[in-house]
């Protein structure tokens, strides 16, 4: 679906133009065209390929989808793949943004992205001095918008982790904590898969050899790279904290199990006294000491109760009961 198709010259909007006039406008000096598509069909991409002269391999990747974040050069143009990670209820949904960039054009194609980029276009149009830098500034603005959307997701994951950490030392909550920690770790993976490759790829746009039309905007891409590095560092911290929390939860579960085993062992020792004495005095011999003694039964019960009481006292004092 075509969202908009706009021509710009020297940082100012000329007008919305029909798709068939794109090739005419991109031939004008100092003019570039910015087109935005959503869930583009093969037919729409074929038209764009013809108007912009896009490389067939880039078009193939855009049609196929499910690409790893990357930045590829095709002659004097770039093909950028980014993944968006957005919150949908308690789950995170992953979308894709494909950007074709040349000296005088920008084509963005988004798939399964909940929030569009109309705000990016409005922001760029409010800064004609920066927009006059051309297509490279538009590429920066789109990349910056995608990266900035990672921060709320990171904050959400950190808040969820803090809530779980507050329950770690609650007795009996270990099983639920471990389950929630693994679910949080699962949520972390899509964001890591989106950030890690993109961090490496953005490094191609600042420092060293960069595409010619990006030479004037290297500092902006360095800013994007810095934001990605911050997100990556936060994700590493969350991952390490999750691993530590899982180990602590497992240790707490083992401690609780050990406490239960100690109690069971203590009670088993106490009842073993009854079993031992009853076993000895319950043997069927005709001649046994105290067998015919008048106070034999109360004495036996008293001895058993006394020994068990002493064991209970010792176990209680040592913290086993």
Question: Which pLDDT does position 315 carry in this prediction?
Answer: 74
Whole-number CA gyration radius for the chain? 35
Question: Which pLDDT does position 284 carry in this prediction?
Answer: 66
Question: Which pLDDT does position 237 carry in this prediction?
Answer: 92
Question: Which pLDDT does position 141 carry in this prediction?
Answer: 92
Q: Is 207 helix (H, G, I), strand (E, B) or coil?
A: coil
Q: State pLDDT tens for residues 72-100.
A: 988 888 999 999 988 877 788 889 999 99
Residues 304/274, Cβ–Cβ less than 8 Å: yes
Q: State pLDDT tens for residues 30-55.
A: 888 999 998 888 898 998 988 888 88
Q: State pLDDT tens for residues 288-301.
A: 676 677 777 677 77
- Torsion region of 28: left, alpha or beta (phi above 0 gives left; psi -120 to 50 gives alpha): beta
End-to-end CA distance of the chain: 71
Q: How confident is the model at residue 287 (pLDDT cuts 50, 70, 90)?
A: low
Question: Under 8 Å CB-to-CB from 171, ≥6 apart: which residues?
Answer: 256
**Please, what are the domains in the chain?**
1-128 (3.30.460.20), 259-318 (1.20.58)
| 174-188 average pLDDT score | 86
Q: State pLDDT tens for residues 223-281.
A: 999 999 999 999 999 999 988 888 888 887 777 777 777 777 777 777 787 777 777 66
Q: How confident is the model at residue 178 (pLDDT cuts 50, 70, 90)?
A: confident
Of residues 259, 270, 283, 272, the one with CA closest to residue 311? 270
Percent of the chain with pLDDT over 70: 93
Question: Which pLDDT does position 113 carry in this prediction?
Answer: 84
Question: Under 8 Å CB-to-CB from 135, ≥6 apart: which residues?
Answer: 32, 34, 101, 102, 103, 104, 105, 106, 213
DSSP H or E run through 278: helix 218-281
Judging by DSSP bridges, how do beta strands 91-102 and 77-88 pair with one another? antiparallel
């Amino acid at each position: 679906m075509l969202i908009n198709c706009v021509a710009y010259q020297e940082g100012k909007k000329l007008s919305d133009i029909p798709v068939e006039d794109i090739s005419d406008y991109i031939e004008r000096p100092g003019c570039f065209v910015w087109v935005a598509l959503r869930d583009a069909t093969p037919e729409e991409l074929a038209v764009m390929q013809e108007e912009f002269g896009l490389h067939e391999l880039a078009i193939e990747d855009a049609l196929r989808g499910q690409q790893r974040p990357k930045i590829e050069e095709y002659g004097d143009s770039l093909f950028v793949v980014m993944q968006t990670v957005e919150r949908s209820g308690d789950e995170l949904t992953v979308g894709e943004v494909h950007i074709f960039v040349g000296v005088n054009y920008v084509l963005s194609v988004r798939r399964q992205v909940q929030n569009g980029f109309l705000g990016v276009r409005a922001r760029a149009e409010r800064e004609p001095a920066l927009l006059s830098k051309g297509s490279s500034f538009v590429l920066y603005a789109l990349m910056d918008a995608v990266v900035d959307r990672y921060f709320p997701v990171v904050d959400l994951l950190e808040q969820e982790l803090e809530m779980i950490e507050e329950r770690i030392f609650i007795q009996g909550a270990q099983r639920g904590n471990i389950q929630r920690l693994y679910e949080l770790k699962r949520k972390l993976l899509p964001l890591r898969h989106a950030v890690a490759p993109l961090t490496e790829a953005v490094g191609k746009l600042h420092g060293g050899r960069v595409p010619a039309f990006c030479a004037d905007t290297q500092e902006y891409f360095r800013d994007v790279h810095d934001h990605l590095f911050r997100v990556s560092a936060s994700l590493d911290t969350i991952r390490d904290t999750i691993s530590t929390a899982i180990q602590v939860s497992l240790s707490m579960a083992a401690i609780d199990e050990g406490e239960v085993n100690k109690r069971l062992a203590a009670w088993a020792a106490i009842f073993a006294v009854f079993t031992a004495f009853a076993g000895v005095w319950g043997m069927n011999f005709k001649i046994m000491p105290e067998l015919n003694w008048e106070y034999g039964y109360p004495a036996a019960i008293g001895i058993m109760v006394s020994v068990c009481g002493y064991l209970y006292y010792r176990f209680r004092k040592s913290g086993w009961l």
